[in-house]
Amino acid sequence: MRAVRAVLGLVVIGAAAAGGMWLTERLLAAPEPVPAAQGAAAAPLRVETIAPEIVTFADAVTAVGTARARQAVDLVAESGGRISRIAFQPGDRVEEGAVLVELDSRAEQADLKAADATLAEAQAAFDRQQSLNRSGSASDAAYQTAQAQLLRAEAERDRAIVALEDRSLRAPFAGVIGMSDLVEGQVIDTTTPVATLDDLSMIAVDFSVPETLLPRLERGQRVDLTSAAWPGRVFGGVISRIDSRVDAATRSLALRAEIANDDRALAGGMFLQVRLVLDERQRPAVPENALTVEGDRTLVMVADGGTARQVEIVTGQQQDGLVEVVSGLAPSARVIVTNLHRLSDGSAIEPVAEGRRVEAAAPAEGGG
Establish if 368 belongs to a structural domain. no
CB 255 within 8 A of CB 209: yes
User: 181 and 83 share a domain?
Assistant: yes
Q: Is 181 a domain residue?
A: yes
Q: Which of 160, 193, 226 is the last residue of a domain?
A: 193
Tell me, yes or no, whether 248 and 316 share the same domain.
Answer: no
Domain with 151 in it: what CATH number? 2.40.50.100
The reply to whether 89 and 106 lie within a common domain is yes
114/170 same-domain check? yes
- 15 assigned to some structural domain: no
> Which amino acid, 45?
L
Residue 266 lies in a domain: yes
Query: Same structural domain for residues 52 and 101?
Result: no
Number of separate domains in the chain: 3
- Does residue 186 sit in the same domain as residue 223? no
What is the per-residue pLDDT across 82-93, written as a single tens digit (0 to 9) for each?
999 999 999 889
Please say which residue of 132, 166, 193 terminates a domain: 193
Cβ within 8 Å of residue 50, ≥6 positions away:
286, 287, 290, 334, 335, 337, 353, 354
Read off the CATH number of the domain in which 229 is found: 2.40.30.170
Q: Which of 173, 178, 182, 255 is nearest to 214 (CA)?
A: 255
User: How high is the pLDDT of residue 98?
Assistant: 92
Q: Is residue 226 part of a domain?
A: yes
Task: Give a yes or no: residue 22 inside a domain.
Answer: no
- Report d(CA 156, CA 185) in Å as an integer: 29
| Per-residue model confidence (pLDDT) at position 22 | 58
Q: Is residue 6 part of a domain?
A: no
Q: Are residues 248 and 349 in the same domain?
A: no
> For residue 21, what pLDDT is reported?
64
- CB-CB contact of 289 with 332 (8 Å): no
Same domain? 210 vs 138: no
- The pLDDT tens digits for 359-368 are 433 444 444 3
Give me the DSSP letters along 140-206. Answer: HHHHHHHHHHHHHHHHHHHHHHHHHHTTEEE-SSSEEE------TT-EE-TTSEEEEEEEEEEEEEE
Question: For position 259, what pLDDT does the model report?
Answer: 92
307 and 260 part of one domain: no
Identify whether residues 128 and 169 lie together within a single domain.
yes
Note the pLDDT of residue 137: 73
Same domain, 274 and 287: no
**Domain coverage including residue 180:** 79-193
Sites in the chain below the pLDDT cut of 70: 1-42, 138, 354-368
Question: Of the candidates 300, 346, 340, 307, which has an alpha carbon nearest to the alpha carbon of residue 323?
Answer: 300
Element spanning 135, H or E: helix 106-135
Kindly report the CATH number assigned to the domain that includes residue 335: 2.40.420.20
Single residue among 253, 280, 307 that ends a domain in this structure? 280
In a domain, 117, yes or no: yes
